């Protein structure tokens, strides 16, 4: 995660992709919001998709809002004076996850190596890559490790913002 300054305001990026930024309201924003325009500090935060944006706006209208400038864009604006620390932390993490490359969402290499020592490997009898009649092959599934499967799934995130 990197922090930079753009147009005099802080921005946060993961691998060159912005996921959060300070945002002051512009004249058009204030006209569109009218009396509902906040006076305090505002954070812009990416969300995974427009459905997630709509859900936030409907379920937590106090701290989250938008302006016509962000119509059709998967981001929300956050009234920092109205959001509690836990919800803010979750919002920043979700913004980071929405923009981070998949490899950064995986455990770091040292963690993977340590876990790999404890992974059990079992032959998969239901998958034969060479047999065109295999149900998995017919469904387009390519088994990991050429017909072997690991007994443990790896999940996590390194370099996350929180």
Q: DSSP secondary-structure letter at 72?
A: T
- What integer best gives the mean pLDDT of the chain? 74
The answer, yes or no, to whether residue 95 has pLDDT greater than 70, is yes
In a domain, 136, yes or no: yes
Please indicate, yes or no, whether residues 26 and 94 belong to a single structural domain of this protein: yes
Please indicate, yes or no, whether residues 74 and 114 belong to a single structural domain of this protein: no
In a domain, 117, yes or no: yes
Please indicate, yes or no, whether residues 94 and 145 belong to a single structural domain of this protein: no
Q: What confidence score (pLDDT) does residue 107 get?
A: 66
Q: What confidence score (pLDDT) does residue 108 get?
A: 62
121-123 and 75-79 strand pairing = unpaired
Please indicate, yes or no, whether residues 89 and 113 belong to a single structural domain of this protein: no
Of 30 and 116, which is predicted with more confidence?
Answer: 30
Please indicate, yes or no, whether residues 86 and 8 belong to a single structural domain of this protein: yes
pLDDT band at 52 (very low <50, low <70, confident <90, very high): very high
Instruction: Enter the tokens of residue 113.
Output: 């190596």
Q: What confidence score (pLDDT) does residue 157 get?
A: 39
In a domain, 92, yes or no: yes
Please indicate, yes or no, whether residues 111 and 35 belong to a single structural domain of this protein: no
In a domain, 155, yes or no: no
Give the angle subtended at the CA of 88 by the CAs of 87 and 91, to the nearest 5°. 85
Q: Write out the residue range of the structural domain in which residue 116 sits.
A: 106-150
Q: What confidence score (pLDDT) does residue 111 get?
A: 57
The answer, yes or no, to whether residue 138 has pLDDT greater than 50, is no
Instruction: Enter the tokens of residue 144.
Output: 């990991």
Q: What confidence score (pLDDT) does residue 133 get?
A: 46
Give 102-152 as a 3 state SS string: HHHHCCCHHHHHHHHCCCCEEECCCCCCCCCCCHHHHCCCCCCCCCEEECC
pTM greater than the 0.85 cutoff: no
Q: What confidence score (pLDDT) does residue 135 get?
A: 42
For residues 22 and 42, is the Cβ–Cβ distance under 8 A? yes
Average pLDDT over residues 106-130: 47
The Cα 130–Cα 99 span in angstroms is: 38
Please indicate, yes or no, whether residues 71 and 49 belong to a single structural domain of this protein: yes
Average pLDDT over residues 129-151: 40
Q: DSSP secondary-structure letter at 69?
A: G
pLDDT band at 117 (very low <50, low <70, confident <90, very high): very low
Q: What confidence score (pLDDT) does residue 144 get?
A: 37
Please indicate, yes or no, whether residues 69 and 12 belong to a single structural domain of this protein: yes
Please indicate, yes or no, whether residues 33 and 9 belong to a single structural domain of this protein: yes
CA atoms within 13 A on the CB side of 20: 22
N- to C-terminal Cα separation, the chain: 10
Please indicate, yes or no, whether residues 12 and 80 belong to a single structural domain of this protein: yes
Count of domains observed in the chain: 2
Please indicate, yes or no, whether residues 79 and 13 belong to a single structural domain of this protein: yes
């Amino acid at each position: 995660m990197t922090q930079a300054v753009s147009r005099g305001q802080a921005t946060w990026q993961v691998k060159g992709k912005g996921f959060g930024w300070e945002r002051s309201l512009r004249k058009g924003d204030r006209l569109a919001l009218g009396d509902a325009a906040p006076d305090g500090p505002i954070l812009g935060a990416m969300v995974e998709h427009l459905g997630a944006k709509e859900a936030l706006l409907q379920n937590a209208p106090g701290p989250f809002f938008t302006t016509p400038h962000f119509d059709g864009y998967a981001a929300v604006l956050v009234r920092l004076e109205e959001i509690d620390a836990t919800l803010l932390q979750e919002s920043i993490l979700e913004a980071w996850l929405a923009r981070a490359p998949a490899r950064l969402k995986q455990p770091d290499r040292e963690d993977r190596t340590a876990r790999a020592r404890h992974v059990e490997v079992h032959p998969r009898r239901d998958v034969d890559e060479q047999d065109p009649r295999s149900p998995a092959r017919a469904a387009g599934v390519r088994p990991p490790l050429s017909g072997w499967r690991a007994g443990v799934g790896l999940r996590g995130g390194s370099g996350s913002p929180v």
